[in-house]
Amino acid sequence: MFLFNAWYIVAEPDEVAGGGIVARTLLGRRVAVYRGASGVLVGLDDFCPHRLAPLSLGTVVGDGIRCAYHGAEFGADGICVRVPGQKAVPPRARVRTYPVVERHGYIWIWMGDPAGAADESSIPEGFWVSGDPAWIGGYGHIESIRSDYRLINDNLFDITHAEFVHPESFGGVEVQYYRNARPGAQFVDQGMTFEIGDRSIRFRTHAARLGLEGGPLWRSMVAQSRGVAEWNEPVDFRMEVIWWAPIYTSFHISVRPADEPDAAPVEIYNLHAAVPESETSSHYFYRSIRNYGDPSMDAMFIDAANFVFHQDKPILEGQQAVLGTRDLLDTDPISFAGDRLQLEGRRILGRLLAAEQEA
Ligand code: FES
Ligand SMILES: [Fe+2]
């Protein structure tokens, strides 16, 4: 089940540079996205109404697109403007188009009720950091992971798995806090608080003097920012996570040596988007952005993010293989204390899906 009335990331800007046409299946529909000569972004169904050749095999001409098969040309509004070798253009010769915008360093598409596209509130405001040049970083993208987007949401909500799946990076004592999360908006030492909104969930963890029992990544952030091989002194750790329905998650991690309360914090944002491709697969876009180091470190960060995600991938794809086309919650699974927020996220999603079906 897909939520149609939402903005979805469809491409990275460099994929549509220089006349590039992106072909991608989103929400079970094949779409093509390109940038016209005037700079306008165009999204449309990826098939020609003549003999259904994918338009993404064609060529950008001005702000329009020319089909690779028999050369029919369509304007940015999807209306056919030219059929080679004949004067008349068949009146039904048009392609469905979709609103497309560029925000926060990504290209987004709206595939729901066209009347709702003007409302950009489903573009997560917390992704601003990926469009801000003061923050540096890199991005990655897994074209198709054989896992429903909801399993990926669940995974990002539940970091208790880090102790077992990511022991050399995220897995530290702080993942225990997920099991005793309580409502609130404060950073609580050695604990987690959360706030549930209409379309979002926000949670925070904090540990005032986190030593070797904490996630190894926090100490390596300090070491990297200071150009030293390792950092084994205690750190003040805080993390704020925000999930926006239906598929966007931001992790903001801030670390500072515990004995240097005046030092500037070393910060990272990890942004995740699990864009539904089909009922059982997703496109996975992510960014790793930080406030320290120089761009030559970007590749290392993206390699590290890739490494972590490839630790999750076999589990997510394995879950989907077991589920087939069933939804996880329809199998009546057992739940643990650390599952609370993912169940809340599923509840929000379920409510939005039900409201959209009703409308
Ligand atoms: S299939 Fe596109 S012009 Fe024939
Ligand atoms: Fe993970």
Share the mean pLDDT of the chain: 96
What Cα–Cα distance (Å) separates residue 308 from each residue in 10, 156, 169, 252?
Answer: 23, 12, 8, 17
**For residue 301, what pLDDT is reported?**
87
**For residue 165, what pLDDT is reported?**
96
- CA of 70, closest atom in ligand 1: 3
**For residue 131, what pLDDT is reported?**
81
Top mutation candidate among 46, 47, 50 for ligand 1, by most atoms within 8 Å of CB:
50
117 lines ligand 1 (CB under 6 A): no
Per residue in 106-157, pLDDT (tens digit) is 999 999 999 999 999 999 999 999 888 889 998 888 999 999 999 999 999 9
Give CB contacts under 8 A, 24+ apart, made by 101-104: 101/7, 101/41, 102/13, 102/41, 103/127, 103/131, 104/128, 104/129, 104/130, 104/131
What is the C-alpha to C-alpha distance for residues 242 and 249, in angstroms, rounded to an integer? 6
- Tell me how far the alpha carbon of residue 65 lies from the centroid of ligand 1, in angstroms: 12
Residues 6+ apart with CB under 8 A from 133: none
| Closest Cα to atom 3 of ligand 1 | 70
Counting residues of the chain whose pLDDT is more than 70, the rounded percentage is: 100
What is the C-alpha to C-alpha distance for residues 68 and 216, in angstroms, rounded to an integer? 52
Per residue in 167-223, pLDDT (tens digit) is 999 999 999 999 999 999 999 999 999 999 999 999 999 999 999 999 999 999 999
- Tell me how far the alpha carbon of residue 76 lies from the centroid of ligand 1, in angstroms: 17
What is the C-alpha to C-alpha distance for residues 106 and 287, in angstroms, rounded to an integer? 10
Ligand with minimal distance to 151 CA:
2
**For residue 140, what pLDDT is reported?**
86
What is the C-alpha to C-alpha distance for residues 25 and 110, in angstroms, rounded to an integer? 13
- Tell me how far the alpha carbon of residue 171 lies from the centroid of ligand 1, in angstroms: 53
Domains and CATH numbers, the chain: 7-116 (2.102.10.10), 126-358 (3.90.380.10)
72 lines ligand 1 (CB under 6 A): yes
Residue 71 pLDDT exceeds 90: yes
Per residue in 44-67, pLDDT (tens digit) is 999 999 999 999 999 999 999 999
- Tell me how far the alpha carbon of residue 281 lies from the centroid of ligand 1, in angstroms: 29
Q: What is the DSSP string of 224-237?
A: HHHT-S---S-EEE
Residue 78 pLDDT exceeds 90: yes
**For residue 130, what pLDDT is reported?**
85
